Structure 1
């Protein structure tokens, strides 16, 4: 129950009851509400304009954002390092590896090509750190593509190296009879006197004089295509297909140490010196073919002769004398 208030009226010399006006009461209430709203608005402005005042959630998000920016910075530094290493590999790939194996270098525009077509990064746009995220993502994509290109290039180089290794192993590159087993080099490649007709004719191989039974070695990796005496004049002979267009022939053998169809390695003993067929004395007649054309075997002894030994063999092979077959 509200208290009744009075005031003293000096005119009537009596106390009069104070009557409250309804309009004034409403004004006071309205003023109180407006004052509260204004005070709240002013407090909000103060809160929004004082950066030091942060809620725990805002502080956590701010720390998370700073950590993200730090991680992206570290990621870009790592990509810089990877880019430098990859650049060195690309340089060696183009200027050493591919040059050595006679392969065309990979163009720079192929290595560093971007991605065309639709916008791959649309979902990353419109955020406060979109630029940082976009640039990092683009760098990562380009770097990944460069790594894929380089990986395929190194696979190609590995295949070329394997092919080169196989080629080097296949080429007839050693002397078929060891120097210590030689009596002499009776005849080389070129015009020589036939021992039977005494007429000059072209001698398509080299004759190595050795005692009967001296080991004969395969001069390169390959597969034996013939080991018989069904070719006129050669007697017991062996033919080896080395691949890459190379074939070697070993004639006038005493006996075989291999069979037709067998795979052999350079240095394997394939037979023994004899004097079968059209032969005047025990010796090995040796021929080399490239793409079915005779070539001088003297050019293929770099595999087991020193420069001095090669010069001596070359000198003897160039002497125009009588051959032994």
Structure 2
């Protein structure tokens, strides 16, 4: 069997690959990747059998290049990872097995502004406003959300906390806009001080197949980002939280009603807790995030489930929708190592070994 994973050099795609290599169902599979190859570590890491360099999805040559690769490699399935590629593949189909969220849903949630506007009459999303640089720098500007406020890049598909900052006053806003001169549109939203959560939801033909939740506790190299958020978790845990689960499913259901589509594929609903730690949705990713292989390490291989769905091998998927994790589990990640899953965190004292 041969499987292509797109966006192969990025952390999320490599997490998908690690997950699939844990699966006994795909242990003899040949894994091919493609990517723009800007992240050279991913190019030379050597975990794929081979990686092709492709143009950006926005490039006019993209389709011809990837179709040539598909014709040459003849994969049994493709797992599409980067959001901009998911968006493209949801609208412009290819003659190869794959499963992605539906077109209009993808177009809606890839923009935080459109997502928030679609759910603005609910308490599922934070209070928010999207502003241009000129609007923020206008001397007459008054922030309707008050302070503190969260400011970040408002462009579609942004990730890893790009342009993100907790502003405590108007001078903070102006200074942050001045520093981030490459960003032309910012989203301001109410500051949510609670926990940081991700809920993985896998669907096929409108049916929820698998769901799992995780909490991000600390971030890799957090000190280099003023916001303290780099988008890559160094410490986290796997959860079973009904409120987080129900919040994610409620939002997905409402959005599918708006778009009139049947839900398919994988989405990851990100949330932050408010002052009462009630989860509020901050974004919906139409792709894997780096927690994927941590779930696989804990015996809940979402990448395996997704590939089986794409191959129409649904009957090989275990029947449980959710796996229950030990209450004191821990996920640890570092720059130079694969994620570690610990079933129970234990304290140890000076002079003791562990």
With normalisation by structure 1, the TM-score equals 0.20
- Which one has the largest radius of gyration? 1
More helix by share: 1
More strand by share: 2
With normalisation by structure 2, the TM-score equals 0.19
